Amino acid sequence: MSALANQPFFKMNGLGNEIVVVDLRGAPDKLTAADARAAARPEGAPFDQLMVLYPPRTPGTDAFVRIYNTDGSEAGACGNGMRCVADIVFAETGKTALTFETRAGLLNCWKGAEPLVSTVDMGAPKFGWRDIPLAEEFRDTRAIELQIGPIDAPILHSPSVASMGNPHAVFWVDDPWAYDLEKIGPLLENHPIFPDRANISLAAVTGPDHLTVRTWERGAGLTRACGSAACAAAVSAARTGRTGRSVRVTLPGGDLVIDWRERDDHVLMTGPVEYEREGRFDPALFAGAPAS
């Protein structure tokens, strides 16, 4: 039987990024990809990311968090999801600062001055082609040779690429809404240049400290908000001289504030979360799913 059977969950969102949080710290069974896919079904708790809490692996941390996409694949980072997790643990512990461990490393979170607002330290971005990763060498990842459409009139071209714990490609455009991202996104997500697939964003600079971004999220599809994509767009904008290191990023679901801290290159993401409902997974969802 799946570890999710009969488990309670929180359905939340970060700017419309649909998040489900499950606490398995008391029964730390690993989930399968089939478990995650089953949980995301309409009769379950549909999500963009499933955030699963496990007991801490590293002394001094508050929990180890595994992150699952709708298709059952695991993600290394999810900024909106981490804010949701943090808000639950803030309320549980009374703490105002937390440290979580994910596949991408340690992430620090701080409770904001306003209710349901918090800041997540997403760590330092990586720009090396092997670290992102890319399938071939590019010495300058501020703009790589990648395009979609006719050679002499590409629809999109020359994205900035970076890793924020997961791979991102940011295409600079005048209007992110002028493209059929639902059609283009899957093609670029699965392009051979990205051996681990990639999150695909369309970003417009709308001011010296303001970006507008839409994202096709790896393993989840078109999303109203992707926190790590907002971070990738912000650092790529600063790295290419389009903006400074502190920007407001407007996503379809709302705004995030991204600060790329100079002293250690860490990226700080500040934004809200919202509780939608609580529930419990019906064991029937997981009938036939491989055992965890």
C-alpha–C-alpha distance, residues 39 and 292, integer Å: 14
Q: CA dist 145 to 134, 154, 186, 205, Å?
A: 12, 12, 18, 21
226 part of the active site: yes
> Active site residue: 84, 109, 226, 231, which one?
226
Neighbours of 210 (CB within 10 A): 15
CA distance 31 to 37: 10
Tell me whether residue 8 is exposed, middle or buried, using C-beta atoms within 10 angstroms of its C-beta: 0 to 12, 13 to 18, 19 or more.
exposed
CB 228 within 8 A of CB 164: yes
**Strands in 103-166 per DSSP E:** 105-111, 117-121, 147-148, 156-157, 160-163
The β-bridge partners of 211 are 205, 249
Q: What is the DSSP letter of 85?
A: H
Q: DSSP state, 11?
A: E
Query: Which residue's structure tokens are 């599809």?
Result: 221
Is 78 catalytic? The answer is yes
Secondary-structure percent of the chain, ordered helix, strand, coil, rounded to 5: 15, 35, 45
DSSP designation for 126: B
| Catalytically annotated residues | 78, 226
